[in-house]
Structure 1
Amino acid sequence: MTLDTKGMGISPDPHRRRMPWTAEKKRVPGVFHSSKEKMALDGARRVAVDCVDRASQVYPLEALRATVASYEYNTFRGKNIFELVSQAESNALRQWVYCKEWPEGTHDENATRAVIHFLCHGSNAASCDYATSRRDTTTQPAPIRLADFPG
């Protein structure tokens, strides 16, 4: 290799000296970063990311292992989050209720949501409300719209 620039010698990595930002970085395989915490999930272990480069390479298989480990962590009681929510005691949860039959702008704050049932498929959900509104107690399932969207 011959260079026309005077004083420039042949080097196995001349671009590394001219552009230091392209220097090789030490990669840490198997690290799955959490953007919310300053922790990384390495397989089934959690490690601090203070000494880990944020741009560390993540291999798909390692990311899958980290996802499985986080799933196992979330389900260590043998229940997933939907089962935990459906069995939670929420009798004291009050919310505003609006009915189509009421005049516009009318609402009742004396409704209590009792149970939320999630179907296994995740495409639909139904809630059973024990509502006390205008001195009438009713129990009726009410569909939760857009329950098939994650998050």
Structure 2
Amino acid sequence: MIRISSRTGAIAAAVLLLAAGTAQAQNLRRVAPERLTGYWYLTNKSVSPDVPNTGKNLNQPTCVAVSYMIGSDGRTQNARIEKVEPQGDLGQVGVSIVNQLVYVKGNQNGTAVPVQTYYVTGFNLPEDPAAKATILAKCKLPGYDQTS
């Protein structure tokens, strides 16, 4: 019989849970942000993100893309920085925002099936709509169902 210490067992359990979470995220329907309302409606009226006082490119026009899962309870899970353009320290602000989002199921989601999606936010964006759209477009992520 092989004995496993409680610490080793805990580490093994954590690795298995991480692998299961990763596998679950890979099997989820990937929904583009502009198509999300068929599956989930955002209920937040506001969020209070954690913003750093100092860091790289905090005053530059920036977009941040954060991927995440919306669980069957409407809560966000597994928030991950996917892109920060230009590179800087605002990615964690995007994660802070996503971690506060709460959803209710939409009309195409009768059984509250979890989905994988992403959120793009901008910082220090110009007033000009075309310039703003150009910056935000840099954070659009491939691989999400843009048409269904």
Q: Same fold (TM over 0.5)?
A: no
Per the normalisation by structure 2, the TM-score is: 0.23
Per the normalisation by structure 1, the TM-score is: 0.23
Structure of higher RCO (CA pairs closer than 8 Å, 6+ residues apart): 2
